[in-house]
A and B are shown apart, each in its own frame.
Chain A
Amino acid sequence: MRPDPFAPGDDLALAERLVRFGRSCGADEIEVGIGEGEEFSVDVRMGQIENLVEAGSRYAGIRVIKDKRTAFASSSDMSEEALERLIRNAVKRAGLSQPDPFAGLADLSPIRIDPDALDIFDPEVIELEAKTKIRLALETERIALADKRISNSHGAGFSSHAARTYLAASNGFAGTYAKTFCGLGVGLQAGETDDLVEDDWHSSRIHFRDLESPEQIARTAVERTVRQLNPRKLGTRRVPVIFEPQMTGSLLGFLFGCISGTAVYQRSTFLADRLGQKIGRDELTVIDDGLMPRRVGTGPFDSEGIPAQRTVVVDHGVLKRFLCNTYASRKLGLPVTGNADGGGVGPNNFFLEPGPHDPAAIIRSCDRALLLIRTLGHGLNAVTGDISRGAFGLWIENGEIVYPVSEITIAGNLGDVLQSVEMIGSDLDFRSSIAGPTIKVAEMLVAGS
């Protein structure tokens, strides 16, 4: 047995007591989640500590159902008096909602996943001394600023977080698990005041030992920043676009919003009627997997107590599944997938399976193309699938990067993009819970001068 400085406390007993209290107040069904967390973060800039935060907190989230009518409540006032008042109010308030045949807690699953097997708690994250964390942040910034091409720093930071989740419900579910996160990163600027470029690089992991080193982070941040210096504008044209892994991640985030069961029953997604249909190239397989050990999106159960699972969402281009919490699954007559997140649906580890291509070979394969490195703005419309965003990129000619471009926009439609992914890179790296490798899209509209 490893020592566990973040051992389960009494909050599972509190949650179970509140469930019994809710039932005694007249709730047909009740679910109580309690979260407690400890946070540390340090920001440094120009070699000095700017901010240091150390804190702990607890909160409770409650769902009550009476006569198929639902009421929610939450509190960071954890006195039992306040929590009991909230539950009494919620039971009373449920009467104001209208009966909904699909309302209700999840069906209790016989499957239980052992949190230890998922390896999502690293005691080292908690045991790290503050001065070590400060040193890592200072070192990352120092290495980056040593590069003469860098003109200013947004600062570097280290943060760590340890959280324990408790969930008890009147369907008989009771469970708890602990999870850690840590992150190290730096943001930089290069260039003159009126012609600045900026970028950053972060590493964020469950285990301290999986973090990138200060050298790796600083070097990547520097390279990403300076490669944008002296950008040109582009004339408006249709060209192939290569998405760097983070940009593929952002595209997948948009896809997630379009295949979430909530969006589907609300008909606020262009993919609502496409289940079972071919929506992309044969090479495209997209998976949501809550069971991958040591990953940021991993956990033994979701916010309704449904066990985590692996779900193939897009299988060789065919849309196989929508990701559903219990409510969406009942509305749509589809299986639950362990993606309940508060009142809605959230990703576990949602990713595009890597392909055979070396990212450098993808660049070499293009005569003229845009390598998309960053986007700005909010132009993603799930209802239509339309994409229209501000963009920063590198222009490619004859298989080589020739100069950076900025003040352009890229536009297209997610449906068209999925149908025109021509090459998939081998460089999948789980930097966050939504991840993808480099991809090449046959054509998008790039607008500039």
Chain B
Amino acid sequence: MLSPAFDIRQRFGLDAAGLRSVLDAALASGGDFAEIFLEYREYRSAFMEEDILKDTSESFSLGLGLRVWAGETTGYGYTNDLSMDKILRTARAASAVASSGRTIPALDLRLQEGGADVYRVIRPPDQAPFETKIALVREAYEACREFSPLIKKVKAAIQDQVQFIAVANSEGLLAIDRRPLVKLTCVGIAEKDGKRESGYSGGGGRVGWEHFAGPTSPAAIGREAAREAVELLDARDAPAGEMPVVLAPGHAGVLIHEAVGHLLEADFVRKKTSVFWNKSGRKVGSPAVTIYDDPTIPASRGSYAIDDEGTIPQKTLLIEKGVVRGLLQDKLCAKLMNRSLTGHGRRQDYTDYPIPRMANTYIDRGEDDPADIIRSVRKGLYAERFTGGQVEDSGKFTFSVSSGYLIEEGRLTAPVKQATLIGSNVDILKKIEMVGSDLAFGLPTGTCSKEGQDVPVNDGCPTLKISLMTVGGK
């Protein structure tokens, strides 16, 4: 095991004294705070379609982002040329926002110890030979293909990366992290009588290769993609209109992500553009609803040991029994709002400054038996799989159901496809009237976009009943 200080010098050519002198340069013309974010990432992928392993890819990413605050203004610069001359030029560009002439000296750097213990890696993703990965892709591909003669096309891909980051700031923080991330995905396309449907499945997380065994084996992933595609061939269009909707455990967590998570990101609240800005401590939902965001769930795709500002993350209570309790904070919002850090400052890569983001967002388990929840609906929709969602600050959101079932007289009946659920968050939280005891997380392959920055996330929920929701079918 190499020392962290050695790692930074080895990878970026900078030692503690070098980092300190860059921070001093960034604050030379004033400013309240300066931060260096160093990133080195290795990414590899392999892709199979049409029965052949079509190509492989390898990518190195190396760069540095420099941030300076002056009051509420952020100056940011980045470069992938790590010569001292270029780094100092980047520092000057970032410090263009500061002109107070007041100089706060940077403190000596001290390495921050520890962080959440979240990575679960026995066989590291970056150290396995490509042959190992290709065998996994092939296993998923073949299991999908062999599931049914109706499966006509299959695509399977594996992607793994290791991201090494170091954060140093003028408050004296020096923090480092080495984040593994793996994702295996499979798409199957089924055809019958000129009709075509596709199914999707995947697995992975902050894990090593040993993850792909048992119920999370590539074969299980391939079969699930095929099963969904084949079942959709016989699905009918979803009914349209207002009706009770039961959300299946796991995948429907994306609704919580869209309808609640985004609107409790501190920047939207600080700017009062979120519908929740004035609702702290106020009741917004039914007492059955408790929501957390937890970046410390071991092995989960949205987890991290430190955030992209070096903060050690915390499980954060957002809504407790229907009452707004917390926000997702980054450093800037926490400072401006005078609140404590939660460790939700994230960025896509060194070309971006951090903003408040979700990690693993979920609605906590309740007390209802999932079977009772379905039994309570006379006529409605059981939404099982989702392809994604979107929300705007006003709280209006949609999310897309790829597959589900009709509920008739308390029983799941015909499979249905392609429905869009639409609502507004203040409304939906009041209408969650039953919460199951069966909390689960969705496919660990999700990515969240905000302001053009993509970060890996995960979300979850137990079986949920929404008393009335607008369904757009065909």
Interface residues of A (CB under 8 A from B): 45, 48-59, 70-78, 82, 86, 89-90, 93-94, 96-100, 130, 152, 154, 189, 191, 193-194, 196-198, 236, 266-268, 270, 343, 376-379, 381, 383-384, 386, 388-390, 406-413, 445, 447-449
Residue on B with the closest CB to A44?
Answer: B73
Contact A377 B393 (CB under 8 A): no
SS of A interface (majority): strand
* Pairs of residues from A and B, 7 with the lowest C-beta to C-beta distance, nearest first: A409-B472, A390-B398, A377-B398, A196-B394, A447-B240, A77-B62, A72-B57
With A267-B153, A386-B474, A411-B472 already in contact, the answer to whether A71 and B420 are too (CB < 8 A) is no
26 pairs of residues in contact across A and B, judged by CB atoms under 8 Å: A45-B271, A48-B73, A51-B353, A52-B76, A55-B351, A70-B55, A72-B56, A75-B62, A93-B58, A93-B130, A94-B56, A193-B272, A196-B273, A267-B191, A268-B198, A376-B422, A379-B472, A384-B195, A388-B419, A389-B398, A389-B472, A407-B470, A409-B420, A409-B470, A411-B474, A447-B471
**Which residues of chain B are near A90, meaning CB under 8 Å?**
58
Tell me, yes or no, whether B441 is within 8 Å of chain A by CB. no
With A96-B53, A409-B398 already in contact, the answer to whether A388 and B197 are too (CB < 8 A) is no
**Which residues of chain B are near A56, meaning CB under 8 Å?**
79
With A154-B273, A390-B422 already in contact, the answer to whether A449 and B54 are too (CB < 8 A) is no
**Which residues of chain B are near A407, meaning CB under 8 Å?**
396, 422-424, 470
Instruction: Name B236-277 residues within 8 Å CB distance of A.
Output: 240-242, 271-273, 275, 277
**Which residues of chain B are near A379, meaning CB under 8 Å?**
387, 398, 400, 418, 420, 472
**Which residues of chain A are near B152, meaning CB under 8 Å?**
267
Contact A390 B396 (CB under 8 A): yes
**Which residues of chain B are near A381, meaning CB under 8 Å?**
198, 418
**Which residues of chain A are near B351, meaning CB under 8 Å?**
55, 57
Tell me the total A-B contact number using a CB cutoff of 8 A. 244
With A48-B72, A48-B73 already in contact, the answer to whether A55 and B472 are too (CB < 8 A) is no
Partner of A57, one of B59, B72, B78: B78
**Which residues of chain A are near B55, meaning CB under 8 Å?**
70-72, 97, 343
Contact with A along B321-344 (1 / 0, CB 8 A): 000000000000000000000000
**Shortest beta-carbon distance from A356 to chain B in Å:** 32
**Shortest beta-carbon distance from B330 to chain A in Å:** 13
Tell me, yes or no, whether B148 is within 8 Å of chain A by CB. no
Contact B422 A408 (CB under 8 A): yes
Partner of B472, one of A53, A100, A343, A408: A408
Contact B72 A130 (CB under 8 A): no
Tell me, yes or no, whether B203 is within 8 Å of chain A by CB. no
With A50-B72, A96-B56, A193-B275 already in contact, the answer to whether A377 and B153 are too (CB < 8 A) is no
Instruction: Name B391-427 residues within 8 Å CB distance of A.
Output: 391-400, 418-420, 422-424, 426
Contact A445 B474 (CB under 8 A): yes
Contact with A along B72-88 (1 / 0, CB 8 A): 11111111110000000
